[in-house]
Structures are given as structure tokens and as C-alpha cells.
Structure 1
Amino acid sequence: MDEWFEKQKREMLRIIGKFTPEDGTHDTEVPGLRLIRSSRLSEPVYSVYEPSLCVVAQGSKVVMLGQELYQYDPSSYLTASVHLPITGQVMEASNETPYLSMQILFDMSQILDVIQASGDVIRSRTETSRGLRVSRVSDTLLDAVLRLLKLVETPRDIPVLAPYAMREIIYRVLQNENSASLMQFAVVGSHAQRIAGVVEKLNRDFAQPLRVDELAAEASMSASSLYDYFKEVTGMSPIQFQKQIRLQEARRLLLSGSIDAAEAAFQVGYESPSQFSREYARMFGMPPIRDIHRLRGSIV
């Protein structure tokens, strides 16, 4: 890495370290900007990634989508184009050199606005590809990201300058050779945009029975096309996607509440507690009650 790049990264480290006094995810006054700190290697963390850009200042992280692994570090960044159930794990971190990163949330209207304003500078692409992508950090993108990050130190500038910094970040990402994974979801009527609607519905109505024919009709696709395009975007079939969302929500309910495993199963849409227990153990490595006891015992 050249001297300029290293200087920019050091400034990112300084600001993120300043505003993350302890491990965890920290919201900022800049809309859509979160800062993350971890001083130790993590166990696999199950969550749903929102449409966002993730940039690492120090350390590295691995994200699993379906059976695919995506690793990113200070030389790369990750973009998530739709809400996707993932498993994330911090791979490089210590008390002396904690994992430090930032997540910038965005929506498709912002992307479409930049595409429309750019004219021929950015050419819209409609091919369907995975909704998660790791790309190399360019100097121009790093400069724009740092400009947004610096606003946390000057809150009075946020209302005026944050929208412009966000707009430039999206523009720089769309200039990247891998931008189709993000751009496709903003193109009205594209297969990817229609699949994004299906993803949104499954995230919202995960406890309801899965009816592929109805989803396909809403997306104006055949059932076989829906299956193929859905798997292309998410790396999973619709039923696998729904299962991950259901099990993640059940785990959250069990960890945060006083309900038992059977009640959690029914709340997330399972009719059979035994099937729920089997699928839960397959995903998290042990049955619900044992898993929750272990998690609660690890919280200090």
C-alpha cells in the first residue's frame, strides 16, 4: 500500500477508535453510518445484512452466505444489495489491535438517483448476480468514505455535507467493475429488482407458509424462473432462505425472552417442535435449550 493509502487508513483508525469506546456496534449522528469494534476473535454471529457498504479499517472478517465465503480486510470492501441472512465472524482482532470497521446503509432510491444523474458515465446493467460482493478499495472510494466518517467529529456539518458524501460513495461504488451486483436492484422491472421484492416479503412474512406459486405470480415470473433467479441473488432456494430467517428469529426470541422452545417454534412458523429442534441443531450446532444456555453463559 502506498503512503497516501496508509495515511487515510490511519485517520480512519483514529476516528473509529475514538467513537467506539467498547466492543459492539455503535450508531453515529451521521444517518446510516455505524461503527463496529471487536477486541477478540468472534464466534459465528448470525444476522441479516441490510443493503449496505462495509469497510474495514483494521483486522478482517469472513461472511458466509449459504455455502459461500466472503472475506474482506482493509484492502477490500463488501456490498450487500438486499436483506440477506448471513453468518459473520471476525478473524483478526486483539486488545492491542481490535477489529475496527464501518457500515454505511443505503436504499435503492439513492442508487437510482445517482444512476439517473450520471448519464452515460455509469451504464445501467440488468444481469442478475449475487447480492453480496467483495471488491478492491479504490483511492477515490476511500477518500469519499473517509469524508463521510470525518463528519462524526463535526456534527453541525452533517445535515449539509452528509448527503453529498453519501452520494459520492454510491457513485464511486457504481464505477467499480463489480457494480452490477448493486446496480441491478435499482433498475425498475429488472429480474433482480423483482427478486428483491420477494426477499423483502420473505423477511417480513417469514412465519407464513411458503407458497412459491404466489411469490412467482407477485414477481411476474414462472415458479422455475423465480427459483433460479432467487438462488442466483441469494445463494439459496426460497425455502432455505426462509428457514434461516425463521431460525435466527427463534434464537433471538429464546435469548431475549422467557418463552420455551416450543412456543418459539410456533411463533416463527413451525408446526412441529421436533422438526424445529432438529433444524435448529443443524444450523447452530446443538438443540435450542443447550444453545441458549451456552450463549447466556458466555455473556459477561
Structure 2
Amino acid sequence: MPLAPAVGGAVIVVVGAVAASLLLGVQDLAPGAVVDALLGRPVAAETAAVVASRVDRTAIGLVVGAAVALSGVVLQGLTRNPVAEPGILGLNSGAALAVVLGIRVLGISSVTGYVVAALVGTVVVAVLVQSLTMMAPRSSAPVSMALAGAAVMALAQGAIGAVLVTDRGALDSFRFWQVGSVAGRDAGQVLDVAPFLVVGALLALTAGPTLDAVALGDDLARGLGQHVVLHRGLAAAGAVLLAASATALAGPIAFVGLVVPHLVRAVVGVDHRRVLVVSAVLGPAFVVLADVVGRMVSRPSEVQAGIVCAVLGAPVLVAVVRRVRGL
């Protein structure tokens, strides 16, 4: 499909997701009441509070969805691994562990501090997972990378649990990161991570030619005039910045970076320039809709968006691994 119709369709999905997020939840709202609240017209105090809360969580969901989807596209392209994704590779868990240690040891309490800690954790885990994958046979790289990521994720989650059990203050500060959620956040926090998000998004969105060249092999990429090491490094930096920023905002939300790129490729093909653009639009819709589903399935309580994304993404992971292995 040409790029313009694909982007247009993704935009329509995003608009529908935003409308659903504002209207649906534990308490459904009438469209007129939502419009009045958004325009500052007189409405019931409870309605105004609900709309304000939903605007915040919708804004966070849009930003996180775009960041994680773009990060997933870049990671899959750089590693030439169809299951590469920040959550599956353990990057989100590494970022979360770094945030916990920052809270416990350094007393970090600002979103900017969380991002810096998350960046360190993401880089360390990325190096560790890649090192473990390189020890396995090349033919089993997709499965080996997923297993390495799962192992590192389990190790990080265990370490997080150990820290939180021994420090009630850290537990209280970190609680909303445990499963990944866009609820209870202030949209203003996006401004705290905006520099990281902007730089990461620019590096990712301009990485299309590099990813296309890398897909042909490093030797051919060099033959096409690509400075492979430099361009790989810039693209990887963009993926890390986006993953760390998303984790700092909403906690470890996994599978978005796996599901969205594969859906997009099925529509627009394998050209990374197209995949990056459409994923940046469709990723936000995926997270926002996951948040809406989480509100609807267990009224009057809620299921966090991270759990819904995992439920939707796990079957896709199994299908991709089976296809890669030819089972």
C-alpha cells in the first residue's frame, strides 16, 4: 500500500482511539459532556475531573506508544531479528531496575532523574543481551535473543523485588512502574522527557536508509556508501533514548514494539522509511486502545495497559518465532 493511504488509515485509527479513551471507562461519558469539559464550559465537577484524568492518560499513551513502536522498528532492523523489541529484550526491565536503584541509593524523585537512570539501565542490558546472543549459533539468533532477553528480564525483576522488599519507601515510589500503566500520570511529565524523546525520534525516523542497507548485510551496506558503525550507533542511540523515555513515563510496557511493526509491514511492505512513519502513528493507537480495553474488561476496577499489551502481544511473539524457525 502507498504511504499516504497507510498514514491516513493509521490517523483515523488514532482519532478513534482518542475518542474511545475520552468517552469510555469505569464511568462512560456523553460526547457532549466531554466536548464541554474540553472547551471549558460549565460541567459537573466529577465530569470535569474524569475528563482531565483521561486527557492526561491519553496524552501519555500516545507518546509512549510512538516511542516504543519506533524503538521496536529500529531494534528489529539493526539486529535483523524479527522478535527484537524493548520489552522482550529486557531493556524495559533493565531501565526499571536502574530506576529502582536510583530511588533507593541516590534518592532520585524527578522524571528527568528517572530517564537518566533508565538510559543507563537500558544500555547495560542491551550490551548484556547482545553478548549472550553472540554466544549462541547464528542460525538460532532470533530464539536465542528472545531467551537471553527473558533471562535478563527475570534477573532484573528478581533484583527489583529484592530492593523493594527491603525498602518500603522505594516500593511506594516505584509501585506504578511494576506492570506498566498510563493511569495516574500528569501529561506535564512529557515535558520533562521531551528532549530525550525528540532526539530519539529524530534519530529513529532518519534511520530508514541505514536499516534498509543493514538488511542487505554489512558488507553490501558499506558498498552502498554507508558508514555502518556510525549509522548503527546513531540508530541504536535513538532506540535506547525512546525506550528509556517511555519506561520513565509509564513503566515497562512490552510487546508494542513487536506487534506494531509487524502489523505495519503487512500493510506497507519492508521499506523501513515507510514502516517507521506508519509505526509512529499506529503505535500510539495500540497503547491507547489497550488502556481503554483495560478499563472496560473488569469494571469497576482496571487492568493496566501493560498487562493488556502483553496479552495481545504474546500470541504474536509465538507466531513470529514459529515462522522464523519454520515450525
The TM-score normalised by the length of structure 2 is: 0.25
The TM-score normalised by the length of structure 1 is: 0.26
Larger helix share, 1 or 2: 2
Larger strand share, 1 or 2: 1
